[in-house]
A and B are shown apart, each in its own frame.
Chain A
Amino acid sequence: MSHVLAVLEQRDGALRKVSHEVVTGARRLADALGGEVHALVMGRGAVQGADASGRYGADKVITATNAGFGHYAPEGYARATSERAKAGGYGAVVFAASAQGKDLAPRVAAQLGVGLAADVTDVAVDGGKVTVTRPVYAGKALLRVKVNATPAVVSLRPNVFTPVERPKAGTGETVAIAGDAGRVVVKGIKASAGGSLDVAEAPIVVSGGRGLKEPANFKLLEELAQAFGGKAAVGASRAVVDAGWRPHGDQVGQTGKTVSPSLYVAVGISGAIQHLAGMRTAKVIVAINKDKDAPIFKVADYGIVGDLFDVVPKLTAEIKKLHG
């Protein structure tokens, strides 16, 4: 029997939603290992929404506070997490493979002297050992990996571990962390024009490629994304990012982000193998393209062959009706 440490995330003092996915993944491991889930969140003070972790299966919610923990503090967070992991004798430590988790999890794993199974899409326990599934070659193959080291340090791909309600006590505990927050100091976050929803975390992604013809036409996709009522982000193919039409943070594909939304709408994207690699784990794929032989139709669940400049405005209007 061993417990599992779930490392949550906050921004501006409020819990980030990806944290519920972390608790859900941790709960699955804890059930198999016969232990409890302890959720850990770092902050300057109390983190709004952290108590909800009990609903998703946290037996305990630990808030580690420090004056330097308002923003992400890479070194301070890593030290607080690894010290907790050591003191608690955990069987597994679970992170989100978010921007923060991708930075924090390797630091913690190195401090604990164990490997990191990163960006996994499934977790299990087999013969007392944690095993994971992780996509490699950007989803063109899956690896099944056994974690022999203890604790098993794992980061979960966002949007894959759908939060499941598993009510537990979620007893609160606050621990003050002494010392400063480290040499690497986050001064703040400059908000991007596209809003706070990232393509890697959005439940719906609407992506555009060269078929959009010019950067200004991405307005069509932004309008379609808005019609989904704040649940959709706009993505882009490598071709249009390389051409400077869209920021790199929006790029979906092997040299960009891999996304797993419940709905992916590919507009004017032919479907190069490196793009398909980034979105093939979407639950439902819709393609809109004027070329009926475009490779994107081979992975799409539903396709419309036609001029995107006719199809997209009509689609936006219909989606608005549903949400109106």
Chain B
Amino acid sequence: MKIAVCIKRVADSETRVKIAADGKSLDEAGVKFILNPYDEFAVEEALQRKEQAGSGEVVVIACGPQSAQETIRTALAMGADRGVLLEAAVPADGLTVARALAAELKDGGYDLILFGKMAIDDYNHQVGPMTAELLGLPCVTSVAHLDLADGKGAAEREVEGGMEEVEFPLPAVLTTDKGLNEPRYPALKGIMAAKKKPLETKPAALGTAGLEILAMTPPPERKAGRIVGEGAAAVPELIKVLREEAKVL
């Protein structure tokens, strides 16, 4: 089974956001970057599918700056076979990333193309299904359960109030959600092996962007709150302020 996994380098979720001097982006000084947590499920799923099939290849593809090579190495350390970096400053328009990825994936002969359902930095939730459209492939997003057999798949995805049950033919593009599997940690042996695995870097073919960032600002400060009291005795006072002051009850 030949599987591609598209991943992203993102700022760690514990990052305290400082805005850069350009007023439009994150100040990266001192920020720890990680493999996007939702992409870990995609990498793990690819590795398990290849292991079950007994043969195949897992190719990890990232679109991002030179430093995203480290992120690719993380996925290689988990067990992926080789990596491709489509080098670009990460654009605001997900469609440009999808274009670059689709151009790379188009003639790859992949049985399965996996993405994390979203990146925890920009919350765009879009590059997977856009790439599928550009490639003309069927796509299921936010997959939390997956069965594959005989060139067909059955997936479950979370929707409001339940799990949607979806069937689709292969090859397909899937985006992965938490719950699909338990991502492995790279073992020392894997980390050493990853250093020797092939990692190709080429320029990303982004095309023209339709979205333009005007400004990045801190969220409005929440006005200072107050402790209304201690223990169960404070509940009547809480009810009173929620009704009379906040007017939410």
- What residues of chain A have their CB less than 8 Å away from a CB belonging to chain B? 16, 71-72, 74-75, 78, 97-100, 102-103, 105-107, 109-111, 113-119, 131, 134-149, 182-192, 194-198, 200-201, 241, 247-249, 251, 253-256, 258, 262-263, 272-274, 277, 280-281, 283-286, 292, 297-307, 310-311, 313-315, 318-319, 322
Q: Is the CB of A273 within 8 A of B16?
A: yes
Given contacts A115-B211, A119-B124, 8 further A-B contacts (CB under 8 A): A107-B139, A110-B98, A183-B168, A190-B156, A255-B37, A281-B219, A285-B225, A304-B228
Using Cβ atoms and an 8 Å threshold, which residues of chain B touch A262? Answer: 248
Q: Which of B121-180 touch A at CB < 8 Å?
A: 121-130, 132-134, 138-142, 144, 156-169, 177-179
Q: Is the CB of B142 within 8 A of A99?
A: yes
Q: Which of B200-248 touch A at CB < 8 Å?
A: 209-219, 222-223, 225-232, 234-236, 238-239, 241-243, 246, 248
Q: Is the CB of A191 within 8 A of B216?
A: no
Given A103-B129, A299-B225, A315-B235: A118 and B124 interface contact (C-beta under 8 Å)? yes
5 closest A-B pairs (Cβ-Cβ)?
A149-B210, A196-B161, A110-B133, A106-B126, A306-B231
The interface residues of chain B, by DSSP majority, are classed as: mixed
Per-residue contact bits, chain B 12-42, to A (CB 8 Å; 1 contact, 0 not): 0111110100000010000000000110000
A257 to B228, CA, bound (A): 28
A146 to B239, CA, bound (A): 42
Using Cβ atoms and an 8 Å threshold, which residues of chain B touch A301? Answer: 222-223, 225-226, 246
B92 in contact (CB, < 8 A): yes
Using Cβ atoms and an 8 Å threshold, which residues of chain A touch B130? Answer: 106-107, 109-110, 116
**Smallest distance from the beta carbon of A15 to chain B beta carbons, Å?**
14
Q: Is the CB of B157 within 8 A of A99?
A: yes
Given A144-B217, A255-B120: A137 and B11 interface contact (C-beta under 8 Å)? yes
**Smallest distance from the beta carbon of A94 to chain B beta carbons, Å?**
15
Q: Is the CB of B13 within 8 A of A314?
A: no
Using Cβ atoms and an 8 Å threshold, which residues of chain A touch B159? Answer: 99-100, 189
Q: Is the CB of B13 within 8 A of A138?
A: yes
**Smallest distance from the beta carbon of A12 to chain B beta carbons, Å?**
11
20 contacts between A and B (CB under 8 A): A99-B160, A107-B130, A118-B124, A137-B120, A138-B13, A140-B218, A143-B215, A144-B213, A145-B213, A149-B210, A186-B166, A248-B178, A249-B158, A255-B37, A273-B13, A304-B229, A305-B229, A307-B231, A311-B234, A315-B238
Using Cβ atoms and an 8 Å threshold, which residues of chain B touch A281? Answer: 219
Q: Which of B129, B163, B209, B230 contacts A115 (CB 8 A)?
A: B209
